[in-house]
Amino acid sequence: MTNEELQVLVEDLSLKYFKKPFRHIAFFNPRLRTTGGRYMLNSHNIEINKLYFAELGIDELVGIIKHELCHYHLHLEGKGYKHRDRDFRNLLKHVDAPRFCSVLPGAKKKRESRLVRAYRCSNCGLIYKRKRRIDTSKYVCGKCRGKLVEEKC
């Protein structure tokens, strides 16, 4: 999908669900990493993360666009456009837009690498749980000064 096709899709969804025209620019921003889309308060443009379309499909893209259009239309009308505002939450429900976008499959792999690691003292058996890997040649048990051994999880 190109930026021109995205622009047409956003304009169509705006008319279909909000009964109001979208008069600004919507485009794919390749620098977006942690979010599906972004509404810019100053320029009123909408930026979309293309990875969500590539990995999760058109349904996820439509949900992200509807979410950003809620920000857009409420901001232009002078109503509460932030996530915590009642106007925003009511409009999300009305147009059946998601409050949060789904997690990308690639991001799940990153999170899984941050699983809890367990280290056991070879002397007293005390178990230490850590998210980060520790250097067992540098650190010892805080209770008995014994050698730490990484446990298989």
Each domain of the chain, given as residue ranges in start order, spans 3-109, 115-150
Q: Does 149 score more than 80 pLDDT? A: yes
Q: CA 62 to CA 143: how far, in whole Å?
A: 56
Question: Of 11, 55, 68, 77, which one is the catalytic site residue?
Answer: 68
In the block, residue with structure tokens 């805080």: 142
Is 68 part of the annotated catalytic residue set?
A: yes
Q: What's the whole-number mean pLDDT along residues 19-29?
A: 95
Q: Tell me the three state secondary structure of residue 81.
A: coil
Q: pLDDT tens-digit profile of 89-114? A: 999 999 999 998 888 877 655 555 56
In 3D space, the residue among 47, 87, 42 whose CA is nearest the CA of residue 64 turns out to be 47
Please tell me which residue, 152 or 62, carries the higher pLDDT value: 62
* CATH architecture for residues 3-109: 2-Layer Sandwich (3.30)
Q: What's the whole-number mean pLDDT along residues 68-90?
A: 95
Q: What's the whole-number mean pLDDT along residues 22-41?
A: 93
The pLDDT assigned to 109 comes to 58
In 3D space, the residue among 151, 111, 101 whose CA is nearest the CA of residue 127 turns out to be 151
